[in-house]
Structure 1
């Protein structure tokens, strides 16, 4: 059995404030193998994006990784210097941001930006780098790639800019890509095209992919495994089939129930009551208990991540026990 490409062990990432430390990521663990896709799901503020930025070494001070390990191909990324991390980032590990303009410089042509991304890690001629850039644009479905290399970012539509951002992430054939909600702002048709392209590239190249999103319908089509995050912690973790079809945590069930396609026509859209608590001042015990109809005195203790029915959950009253 092949070892995982990426393994997080008890990752903790915090941001100190005058009121105390914000525990944005608190004891997160998961594994990811080559050629597999992990969907990291949760509401805004659940810690999923900070998890991605922690893996990439993009946590800016005073924020810091305060505990745990990020093992990438046996290397603990949390212990690398900025220079060592920079040599990996863009070459073996790449990131696709939610807003492509965070990746693209508006005053530089696309070919300039793509050639620089290659030259930062390899000594190749400009002609060879341009050829690779053109091929990468063609691979993500951009028509007339040779001509589009000479264009500026503002000359592309939002969907095309995101395709360019994906092409840049793929330039150096990384082993791992972290995608932070890259299709959220796109229309459904373009989103479906990009998802199909990413899935094909992951399979063909044997890359590992972390897809960060709040949209369960997206990861149900794309991912192999799903980790559901709430208030900085993973509350449910397993295969797509197990988590989507047989959820155990009430938060996961609430996310699934709020997807419009699962509601009957004419009925009110289901929603999770209350608001996500501040990670600076979480309730004692289970962080979800203030929004859960099944919470009782037992939930005032902190639940552990336990195995049941083939996957992991963090709940004292999992759905199957409540249903029974």
Structure 2
């Protein structure tokens, strides 16, 4: 009996930005896989390479950025071999992206209905009435009230939460196999954020699609995702089932992220911040990039730690918090 291949398989993805001094590696040998119906979280501080990873997967990098090495296999096919025409057919249909700012994907001078129906008709042969029905259905699925009226609205006439729901509806309208969401709830208040997280999880479960949810906040993803990749300075330093990672982190950086979150038990106490700051990608220290901020660092950390698999989880640390 042969095992089915993952929906998405990322193998040693490396993305660089060319500069006059030296190329800057923003994504360094990143690998992960994603099954249909699964939600993967990618978390880390600003500058850790999360968004660049997403843009690399979608082939949306602008010069001087480029994917320098690795493979991105979608349904067994290496997307790095796709032509611009093939990418045009894939994006918005089989693979969709929700951006942090909905105005990056919504045209301010087009009505909501025109934008949604255009997304349908660019990829599928159908009548205008069929496209309108699908657009209204997509708005209903993301919890927008009175969708018929919203179809006639312009983006500026909607609140930030409503615009983000429209952007999610636009991503889901063609029932893609993969959805990539790049911190889509960061600018929203916690009530709207919770609603969108719930609706996103429900929609993925109902449609059978897979999703990648990018966030700087482990508290946001812990109830949404199935597995999580923790990134630091362009590298995945830990990945595994989200419940296991939160209950028993292996990498000191993951523990630092968790310790910085407010909880009911730490109410009224100062939060534990990770000392120092993320180093610039153009001036990374040799070996483990987290070593200058890590209380467990030793001379061994002058080398790049290899990926170690421990009971179905992966980490890159010479001094993990739990021994193998």
Q: Shorter chain as normaliser: what TM range?
A: over 0.9
Offset at residue 263 of structure 1 (A): 5.7
Q: Deviations over 1:13-66 (max 9, x none)?
A: 110011211101010000000000000000001001111011111011221110
**SS in structure 1 opposite 2:166?**
helix
Contact preservation (8 Å) 1:250, 1:318: yes
TM-score, normalised to structure 1, is: 0.97
Offset at residue 309 of structure 1 (A): 3.8
Q: Which residue number corresponds to residue 105 of structure 2?
A: 103
Paired with 2:106 and 2:239, the residues of 1 have a C-alpha distance of 34
Q: Which residue number corresponds to residue 178 of structure 1?
A: 180
Range with greater deviation from structure 2 (171-180 or 256-265) = 256-265
Q: Pick from 132, 137, 140 the counterpart of residue 139 of structure 2.
A: 137
Range with greater deviation from structure 2 (248-257 or 55-64) = 55-64
Q: Which residue number corresponds to residue 162 of structure 1?
A: 164
Q: Which residue number corresponds to residue 119 of structure 1?
A: 121
**SS in structure 2 opposite 1:86?**
helix
Instruction: Name the count of aligned residue pairs.
Output: 322
Contact preservation (8 Å) 1:12, 1:66: yes
Offset at residue 218 of structure 1 (A): 1.2
Paired with 2:217 and 2:311, the residues of 1 have a C-alpha distance of 24
Q: Which residue number corresponds to residue 20 of structure 1?
A: 22
**SS in structure 2 opposite 1:20?**
coil
Q: Pick from 1, 4, 7 the counterpart of residue 5 of structure 1.
A: 7
Q: Deviations over 1:123-159 (max 9, x none)?
A: 2111110111011001100001011100110111100
Q: Deviations over 1:209-250 (max 9, x none)?
A: 000000101110000000000000100010011111110100
Unaligned runs of 5+ in 2: none
Contact preservation (8 Å) 1:69, 1:77: yes
Contact preservation (8 Å) 2:5, 2:76: no
Paired with 2:204 and 2:274, the residues of 1 have a C-alpha distance of 34
Q: Which residue number corresponds to residue 91 of structure 1?
A: 93
Poorly superposed stretches of 4+, deviation over 4 Å: none
Q: Which residue number corresponds to residue 44 of structure 1?
A: 46
Matching of residues 182-201 of structure 1 within 5 Å: 182-201=184-203
Paired with 1:222 and 1:208, the residues of 2 have a C-alpha distance of 12
Paired with 2:293 and 2:130, the residues of 1 have a C-alpha distance of 56
**SS in structure 2 opposite 1:18?**
coil
Q: Which residue number corresponds to residue 292 of structure 1?
A: 294
Paired with 2:5 and 2:264, the residues of 1 have a C-alpha distance of 37
Paired with 2:173 and 2:267, the residues of 1 have a C-alpha distance of 44
Unaligned runs of 5+ in 1: none
Aligned CA-pair RMSD = 1.1
Offset at residue 84 of structure 1 (A): 1.0
Offset at residue 176 of structure 1 (A): 0.0
1:319 aligns with 2:290: no
Q: Pick from 130, 148, 151 the counterpart of residue 150 of structure 2.
A: 148
Q: Which residue number corresponds to residue 204 of structure 2?
A: 202
Alignment CA distance shift 1:263-1:296 (3 Å)? farther
Paired with 1:262 and 1:291, the residues of 2 have a C-alpha distance of 27
Paired with 2:52 and 2:83, the residues of 1 have a C-alpha distance of 19
Contact preservation (8 Å) 1:159, 1:190: yes
1:255 aligns with 2:257: yes
Paired with 2:60 and 2:264, the residues of 1 have a C-alpha distance of 37
**SS in structure 1 opposite 2:263?**
helix
Paired with 2:226 and 2:68, the residues of 1 have a C-alpha distance of 29
Paired with 2:117 and 2:94, the residues of 1 have a C-alpha distance of 17
Contact preservation (8 Å) 1:224, 1:239: yes
Contact preservation (8 Å) 1:257, 1:263: no
